[in-house]
Chains A and B, each alone.
Chain A
Amino acid sequence: MPSLLGNIFKGWADYSKGNEEGGHHDYEHMYALVIDLDRCTGCNACSTACYAENNLPVVGEDKFGARQAMHWMRVERYFDEPDMDPDMGPDTSNIEDANETGTQSRGASFLPMMCQHCNAAPCEPVCPVGATYHTVDGLNAQVYNRCIGSRYCANNCPFRVRYFNFYDNSESWPAPMEQQLNPDLSVRSKGVMEKCSMCLQRTRAARDTAKREGRELKDGDIQTACQQTCPTSAILFGDLLDEASAISKVWKNHQVKLGTYKQDKENPELRGYRIFEELNVDTKVLYLERVREV
């Protein structure tokens, strides 16, 4: 009995301590992303690479229209420009513009959106069977063979980046297309939730390679599929706990810290920001604001 109480107190102490440091684990790694919206051209190569790498099914027009598609990485396109400095003049690209004959003046805004791997993920506590949890690498993992498909996690995701297998999508791969499937991860059956895993299979493969070669993992060993293919190098993946890594330098330069819902930047004009930060979900994707010459 005393040990039970002791365990409860220790667990609580660990949890509280962890919360201040951006999580409640003893993290070995903290994988994160940086996406530079100024470099992103919206070309969609990342999304297609994700389809190729992760065995995503193609659902066809009807199901896509019914919003049952499975694009783990989606590139959104907006025509308005929130946060633009209001001194910079009117924005005629607002499509609600009263001046109906005006045309776009500054292009479009593209936003690659995928699982943000929140350190305080709202999807994790609500899964009845614990099929989604936070790994010691800082990733939000989805365990396909534990998922019973209650879909509470998807409801709780403010980014709506969780995708459910509403059908058995095997007709996505008529022979011989199934030969393209990546054997490093499964093809999910119907009734199972899935989402971006930051190419966890590549992390494992890189770790195995490093082990085989008798060395530590270094920055650049792991590239997510989206990062590797992005022609403008707008996506950067890395380990925030590795101070020498390129990504931790970017996060540091933009003065964005984990474990808080409101950044306290010395220079508030720096471009780095996180989406829906005020919800206190502690996302790990840093977006760099798109820049436009006025």
Chain B
Amino acid sequence: MSAQQNLPHKHLTQDQVKDIDENIEWAKINADVLRSMENPRRGYWVAMFISVALFSIMIYAEVHQYIYGMGDAALNTSHMWDLYISTFVFWIGMSHSGTLLSAILHLVHADWRKPIYRFAEAMTTFSLLTAGIFPVIHLGRVWNFYWVMPYMSDRGLWPNFRSPLIWDAFAITAYLTSSVLFLYIGMIPDLAICRDNAKGWRKKLYTWLSLGWRGDDAQWRNFRFTYLMIACLLIPLAVSVHSIVSMDFSMSIMPGWHVTTFPPYFVAGALYSGCAAIITLFILLRYFFKFEHFMTMPILDKVCKLTFVIAMVWTYLNLVEFASVWYGHDIPSKEVLLAKASGPYSPFFWAMMFFGSVLPFALLSQWIRRNMYVLFFVSVFLNVGMWLERWMIVTPTLSLGYHPQAFNVMWPGWVEWAMVGGSFGWFGMLFLVFVKVFPSVSMYEVKEMVYHRKRTVYEDVDEMMNLHSGVPGPGPGPLPGSPPTPAPQSTGGI
């Protein structure tokens, strides 16, 4: 094989088509990623400040709600659920991003996931942690939230296993546990790299976390097997989690909720919003940490195309739901559908349809896929569309229903918006801390990806690797405060 390959587009250079440059050196990979974990600059603190501010508003709102009751949260006899539940579903949906990239694409050997799956998996974990706030704060008697856990109470009471909310509790807990495990275990080789390049409290932290990783053969074999197993476990969990969350609605008898296609519909929506969020964070991390070499345009290209496909699946399932109601005989369900399309909530419904079904066509344009600024806003609006979708599932049904006496239009109040905004703040806080403490690009996997690309390009890659091993290339230097690079040892990665 020669280095010359057929270029798919005449006006693009080789570099622009390759998922990653095969000539990147290991030391550069380490250095670039480790540099991202340096002491933060002003932009980071601004972002952190905003996140903390949003989160503080959420705390204030929750304290208000705790003291005064749920009434100020714009809830009433008809609208017993509102933004808390829709935002909960939204965050659970976001959490599917990591699983998709980490697990599903791993099983189909899609290499291009490697530079980006780390932050996606982190996003999964933090989305779940954010989502987990809502089932607690939406309770009328928050202080008794632990009653949903099955424990041996002295009254001999167990939770009601027939309730979809309990299934939620189990599913989310299982999913969260598995995601954390997957994230952590997948990070061990990287944590070892960090350990070797750190000093002070970081060194202690990484030493403890990397569990004595030496990078020898036996460890790598175990590691690969474990990673694969967790990936296999995680996929059905992810599908089941959002199916179960969808059953909060489909197991109810309310018109507009009692829909059999909800489980796949919600899972599709989840993958959709997860992918859109990946694009958003991709652009942000690439820009702020200068990860151009790892988070390359071709990879972004592929993510965009994947997003488009999932958007079309979601659109199809959405239209299936509408069609089954439209051609069906259930009058109250039809009323809800018509109310969504032409009632008081219709601006949001049509916004959702536009952002969810029309806007993804922008991703077909190569110009947009290459234009970071436009793509950023496109991805944000795709997620806005997904949030609106969850809201449009919850609220229009509750504004109607079977009994006309209960027909009522309600708009969310400040407490609810504070909680929604605060959840983004909370997520932001977690994510910002993550990118500074943990490597947001998986160093060892990038090295694997580079290696495999080399093999497709160069014949004597193994010989080349041996030539280069042991000699660190010119890089920007080690982490500040860390000792000079020691003599090469067997560290994580080749």
Binding site for B on A (CB under 8 A): 63, 66-69, 74, 76, 113, 122, 125-130, 146-152, 154-156, 158-160, 162-168, 189-193, 276, 279, 281
Structural contact, B78 and A160, CB atoms closer than 8 A: yes
Structural contact, A155 and B80, CB atoms closer than 8 A: yes
Chain B min CB distance to A269 (Å): 25
Chain B min CB distance to A118 (Å): 11
Q: Which residues of A contact B70 (CB under 8 A)?
A: 149, 164, 166, 190-191
B456 within 8 A of A: no
In addition to A125-B163, A126-B164, A191-B69, 11 A-B residue pairs with Cβ atoms within 8 Å of each other are A63-B71, A68-B71, A68-B77, A113-B405, A126-B252, A129-B159, A130-B159, A146-B147, A146-B157, A148-B144, A165-B140
Structural contact, A130 and B80, CB atoms closer than 8 A: no
Structural contact, A126 and B251, CB atoms closer than 8 A: yes
Structural contact, B163 and A69, CB atoms closer than 8 A: no
Cβ-closest chain A residue relative to B164: A126
CA distance A203 to B70 in the complex (A): 32
Cβ-closest chain A residue relative to B135: A150
Structural contact, B139 and A276, CB atoms closer than 8 A: no
- Name the one of A76, A156, A162, A167 contacting B253, with C-beta atoms under 8 angstroms: A156
In terms of DSSP, what is the predominant structure of the interface of chain A? loop
Structural contact, A128 and B169, CB atoms closer than 8 A: yes
Structural contact, B254 and A155, CB atoms closer than 8 A: yes
Q: Which residues of B contact A122 (CB under 8 A)?
A: 252-253
Q: Which residues of B contact A129 (CB under 8 A)?
A: 144, 147-148, 157, 159-160
B76 within 8 A of A: yes
Structural contact, B77 and A158, CB atoms closer than 8 A: no
CA distance A128 to B148 in the complex (A): 6
CA distance A130 to B159 in the complex (A): 6
Q: Chain B: interface residue count, which band?
A: 35 or more
Structural contact, B75 and A150, CB atoms closer than 8 A: no
19 A-B residue contacts at CB 8 Å?
A67-B79, A113-B403, A113-B405, A125-B251, A126-B251, A126-B252, A146-B147, A149-B140, A149-B141, A150-B138, A158-B401, A158-B402, A158-B403, A160-B406, A163-B77, A166-B69, A166-B76, A189-B141, A190-B69
CA distance A127 to B162 in the complex (A): 8
Query: Scoring B residues 56 to 88 as 1 if CB is less than 8 Å from chain A, else 0, what string do you get?
Result: 000000000000111100011111110000000
Q: Which residues of A contact B142 (CB under 8 A)?
A: 191
Within 8 A of A (CB), among B219-255: 248, 251-254
The 6 closest A-B pairs by CB, nearest first: A149-B140, A191-B140, A166-B71, A67-B76, A130-B160, A160-B406
Structural contact, A67 and B408, CB atoms closer than 8 A: yes
Chain B min CB distance to A18 (Å): 16
B337 within 8 A of A: no
CA distance A128 to B150 in the complex (A): 11
Binding site for A on B (CB under 8 A): 68-71, 75-81, 135, 138-142, 144-145, 147-148, 157-160, 162-166, 169, 248, 251-254, 398, 401-403, 405-406, 408, 410
Chain B min CB distance to A282 (Å): 13
Structural contact, B160 and A160, CB atoms closer than 8 A: no
Q: Which residues of A contact B145 (CB under 8 A)?
A: 148
Structural contact, B141 and A192, CB atoms closer than 8 A: yes
Q: Which residues of A contact B147 (CB under 8 A)?
A: 128-129, 146, 148
Structural contact, A128 and B141, CB atoms closer than 8 A: no
Structural contact, A152 and B140, CB atoms closer than 8 A: no
Structural contact, A191 and B163, CB atoms closer than 8 A: no
CA distance A76 to B404 in the complex (A): 10
Given contacts A129-B147, A165-B69, A167-B69, is CB(A154)–CB(B77) below 8 Å?
yes
Cβ-closest chain B residue relative to A111: B405
CA distance A155 to B135 in the complex (A): 15
Q: Which residues of A contact B403 (CB under 8 A)?
A: 113, 158-160
CA distance A159 to B78 in the complex (A): 10
- Name the one of A127, A151, A190, A193 contacting B163, with C-beta atoms under 8 angstroms: A127
Structural contact, A69 and B77, CB atoms closer than 8 A: yes
Chain B min CB distance to A135 (Å): 15
CA distance A127 to B96 in the complex (A): 27
Cβ-closest chain B residue relative to A168: B69
Chain A min CB distance to B363 (Å): 36
Q: Which residues of A contact B163 (CB under 8 A)?
A: 125-128, 130, 152
Q: Which residues of B contact A154 (CB under 8 A)?
A: 77, 80
